[in-house]
Amino acid sequence: SLLLAGRAAQAERVSRAAAAETEASAKREAAVSAGESVLVVGADEGVAAAAVTALVVAREDVAALVRDQNGADEAFGPYLSGVFAGSAGDATLLGRALLKSGAKAALCADSGVALATVRRLADLAPRFAEEGKALPAVVALNAPPRGLLAGLLRGDEARAADVEAAAREAAAAGIDLVVLRAPAALAEATAPPRSVELAPARPAGASEGALTAEDAAAALAFACTADDFDASVGVYDLSAVGDNVVVSPAAK
């Protein structure tokens, strides 16, 4: 009958969906085991949340440390290979996320979070070695905050101190640290994020004030996943050139 045929078709759709989810779950677990995930630290909002979206769209395996697990589940659902709920300032939780996520890179949209991540990785280096795991790179954004009170909340000197300390401690511990440096506060997006382009030097005529949070997120995702990205350079500058975000080694 039509009723039985309809039920059979529905059962077939459910079965296919379950099989697809099982396959996707197996791929995520394999990525974690192989150390191919990207851990986004503090992924609830702003640039970090936009970076999760950029990584998901690029079909990368993504784990996230978030304050609001329900919000992350609603926003990204099955696209996350792991969710660690709590504060990035919780050293125990951060350590668990770094160890269990199978991350090749830890993405940090704040220089203070990057410093905390470097320090936790340095503490955990013996544990990574015992488990036969490579230490993930730390990819961080260094951008002036927006708003009238930005100077009170996080001044240039404090951010510079965080970056310098992170670089010093990363070098001592053998951790790759990449800092993407935005020249000005990031603007609200009024268009889709630009494409990301790697260049040997900052192009002439590059804009210093046109980058958006989504542009920065795309650049962070690129730095975490591009096969030809050299993490040993250390500091890169971000600039806008037409429809591209140009990532170039910082001038010495």
Round to whole Å and give the CA distance between 62 and 220. 13
Q: What angle do CA 143, 146, 149 make, to 5 degrees?
A: 120
Domain chopping of the chain, boundaries? 1-34, 35-249
Do residues 235 and 141 make contact, with C-beta atoms less than 8 angstroms apart? no
Q: Residue 21's pLDDT is what?
A: 46
In sequence order, what are the residues at sequence separation of 6 or more whose Cβ sits closer than 8 angstroms to the Cβ of residue 20?
none
> pLDDT by residue for the chain (252 residues), tens digit each?
555 555 566 666 656 544 444 444 444 454 444 468 999 999 998 999 999 999 999 999 999 999 999 998 888 888 999 999 999 999 999 999 999 999 999 999 999 999 999 999 999 999 999 999 999 999 999 998 776 545 555 567 888 899 999 999 999 999 999 999 998 888 887 778 889 999 988 887 776 667 999 999 999 999 999 988 888 879 999 998 888 999 999 976
Strands 103-108 and 37-41: parallel
pLDDT of res. 182 = 92
pTM of the model: 0.83
Percentage helix, strand, coil, to 5, in the chain?
A: 50, 20, 30
pLDDT at 148: 53
Q: What pLDDT, on the 0 to 100 scale, is given for residue 190?
A: 77
Specify the pLDDT at position 14. 58
For residue 91, the model assigns a pLDDT of 96
Give the E-state strand segments of 199-243 in sequence order: 235-241
Q: Does domain 35-249 have CATH number 3.20.20.70?
A: no
Residue count of the chain: 252
Per-residue pLDDT at 26: 46
Residue-level pLDDT at 31: 45
